[in-house]
Amino acid sequence: MLTETAYAKVNLALHVRARRADGYHELESLFAFCADGDGLSATPRDDGALTLAIEGPFADDLDAGEDNLVLRAARALQSTSGTMLGADLRLDKRLPIASGIGGGSADAAATLRLLVRLWEVRPMEIDFPAIAASLGADVPACLGSQTVFGAGIGERLETVDLDLEGTPILLVNPLIACPTGPVFKGWDGLDRGPFDPQDWRRGRNDLAAPAIALVPEVDEVLAVLRAQLPRVARMSGSGATCFALFASDAERDAAAARIEEDHPDWWGMASTLR
């Protein structure tokens, strides 16, 4: 059995520049990844079959059927590589569903990384970016799970050196699903200017306002995080998860303890950036 982590994705900033004719949106974002996330394991099968079992605190919120991104990623790699092997996959679902931290996309990317090793696929013979892009806009960034600047719908990725590795981060979610489609639909259409990844602290999340309109609790989460005096506090992706970056593990852990005591019904995860 082999294991892989589906690292939680964080949009340190997310600028929406335009709505495209195909229904997608032109974005500029700085993707970063936590050291923690969902867990994935797999054992090989000789008959080519693919199975998925889901466990963990958010297992009941996720369907293990054929449309699950883990199985879709496995089928895509199986077809592209031509392998005759299959796998019994097990997903430990630790991240909330529809929460803006790339749970499904991270799971799909982790599946590709895991099965490449399990099936001994030769990476140079596979177009992994194409497979990743076919599974979702965030999957290409999640495939490497390293800090990158993303443009377009997330498919144009550029490595940036910002020395963020090891930065303490706290994720908080009010445990209210915030579906991506309605949030994007609620964007007001105003281009508020480009994003400079080298000046990411001055960035913003243009989806925060429509997310708050749908889930007002996001505004409360942001207010609580900002009251902890972090270096930066913003919403990630289309919400409802918000994050705060701290100067030290001690400051992060103290903030996490205070928030857990005051809001025991919220979800939180203390981690560091990769």
Q: Which of 13-17, 21-25, 85-89 has the lowest mean pLDDT?
A: 21-25
Question: 40-49 pLDDT, tens per residue?
Answer: 999 999 999 9
Catalytically annotated residue among 36, 38, 138, 206: 138
pLDDT at 182 over 90: yes
Catalytically annotated residue among 9, 36, 92, 107: 9
pLDDT of residue 124: 86
Active site residue 185: no
Cβ within 8 Å of residue 148, ≥6 positions away = 30, 31, 141, 157, 158, 159, 160
pLDDT of residue 125: 84
Label residue 235 by pLDDT band (50, 70, 90). very high
The answer to whether the beta carbons of residues 264 and 233 sit under 8 Å apart is no
Cβ–Cβ contacts within 10 Å for residue 265, how many? 6
The average pLDDT across 265-271 equals: 98
pLDDT at 154 over 80: no
- CA pair distance 154, 113, nearest whole angstrom: 19
pLDDT of residue 155: 79
Strand-pairing partners, residue 243, are 171, 234
pLDDT of residue 172: 98
pLDDT at 24 over 90: no
For the chain, the structural domain boundaries read 2-159, 168-272
- Please choose, from the candidates 141, 148, 150, the residue with its C-alpha nearest in 3D space to the C-alpha of residue 108: 141
Cβ within 8 Å of residue 238, ≥6 positions away = 100, 178, 179, 180, 183, 184, 207, 211
CATH class for the region spanning 168-272 = alpha beta
pLDDT of residue 259: 98
Label residue 192 by pLDDT band (50, 70, 90). very high
pLDDT of residue 119: 97
Token pair 């979800």 is found at 267
Task: Retrieve residue 224's tokens.
Answer: 């609580």
- Please choose, from the candidates 16, 235, 30, the residue with its C-alpha nearest in 3D space to the C-alpha of residue 141: 30
pLDDT at 55 over 90: yes
Peptide bond into 240 cis (omega under 30): yes
> Which phi and psi (to 5°) does residue 225 adopt?
-65, -45
- CA pair distance 160, 156, nearest whole angstrom: 13
The average pLDDT across 6-28 equals: 94
Cα torsion 244, 247, 252, 255: sign:
negative
pLDDT of residue 81: 96
- Please choose, from the candidates 12, 9, 4, 48, the residue with its C-alpha nearest in 3D space to the C-alpha of residue 137: 9
Label residue 218 by pLDDT band (50, 70, 90). very high
Label residue 133 by pLDDT band (50, 70, 90). very high
pLDDT at 215 over 80: yes
- CA pair distance 29, 240, nearest whole angstrom: 17
Label residue 62 by pLDDT band (50, 70, 90). very high
Active site residue 107: no
Query: 2-159 — its CATH code?
Result: 3.30.230.10
The answer to whether the beta carbons of residues 177 and 98 sit under 8 Å apart is yes
Question: 63-100 pLDDT, tens per residue?
Answer: 999 999 999 999 999 999 999 999 999 999 999 998 99
> Which phi and psi (to 5°) does residue 191 adopt?
-85, 110
